[in-house]
Amino acid sequence: LCVFFTSGAQGGSVVSALIKDGTFAVRAVTRDTSKLAAVKLKDAGAEVVAADLDDEKSLKSALSGAYGAFVVTNFWDHFSKEKEVQQGKVIVDLCKDLGLEHVIYSGLENVNKLTNGKLEVLHFDGKGEVEEYFREACCPMTSVRLAFYFDNFLTMCKPQKSKDGNSYDL
C-alpha cells in the first residue's frame, strides 16, 4: 500500500498502523526521505520514497505497482483550492491509469456545493471537488473525513487567557 505524506499526522499514523498490522507491504511517500520521521518509518519496515504533488513523474513512480493508496492533499501548503484540486486530479488519474484496486482519500465536504453557493470554505471545498472527481473517474475510493486534531490545541490553536483572566478563548 502506498501512503502519502507520511511525515504528517495522518499519513504517519496510517503507516505505523499498517506496519504493525503486517498484512501489506507499506510504501511511505514523503517529500524529503532524509527527515527523521521518514528514517524512523524506514527503520520500522516501510519502503520510503520521495514524491511531490507538483511532480507527476514522482507520483507515478510512487504509485506504480501499489495495490492501493491512502492519499492526503494539503491545502495548507499553498492556501489554494485550485492547486489542491489540480494536484488531487493528477493523483486520481494516476490511480485509475495504474489500476490501483482501492484508494482511501482524506477528504472533506464541498461546503459551497452543500449550501448552494452561500458559503465557501476553501480547504473543505477543494477536497470535496477531488472526491467528486474520484467518482466521475470511476476510481474506487473511500473518503475518510477526520475531525480537527486535538493536538492543534497544543500548537497552532493554543487557548488564550481571556482579558478578565477567568477563562480561556479558543
Regions of the chain where pLDDT drops below 50: none
Predicted confidence (pLDDT) per residue in 126-170, tens digit:
999 999 999 999 999 999 998 777 888 888 888 889 999 999 888
Q: List the grid coordinates of 56.
A: 507527476
151 to each of 13, 65, 78, 87, 147, how far by Cα in Å? 14, 34, 22, 27, 11
Model confidence, pTM = 0.89
Q: How far apart are CA 136 and CA 116, in angstroms?
A: 20
Cβ atoms 132, 110 nearer than 8 A: yes
Q: Where are the domains of the chain?
A: 51-169
76 to each of 102, 144, 149, how far by Cα in Å? 26, 18, 15
- Predicted local distance difference test score (pLDDT) of residue 153: 83
Please report which residue ranges of 29-139 form alpha helices under DSSP H.
36-44, 56-63, 81-97, 111-114, 122-136
- Predicted local distance difference test score (pLDDT) of residue 103: 99
- Predicted local distance difference test score (pLDDT) of residue 131: 97
Q: At what angle do helices 36-44 and 9-21 cross, to 10 degrees?
A: 10
Q: How far apart are CA 64 and CA 50, in angstroms?
A: 13
Q: How far apart are CA 140 and CA 138, in angstroms?
A: 6
- Predicted local distance difference test score (pLDDT) of residue 149: 79
Evaluate whether the domain defined by 51-169 bears CATH number 3.40.50.720. Answer: yes
CA 111, 115, 142, 58 torsion: positive or negative?
negative
- Residue whose C-alpha is closest to residue 66's, from 136, 132, 3, 148: 3
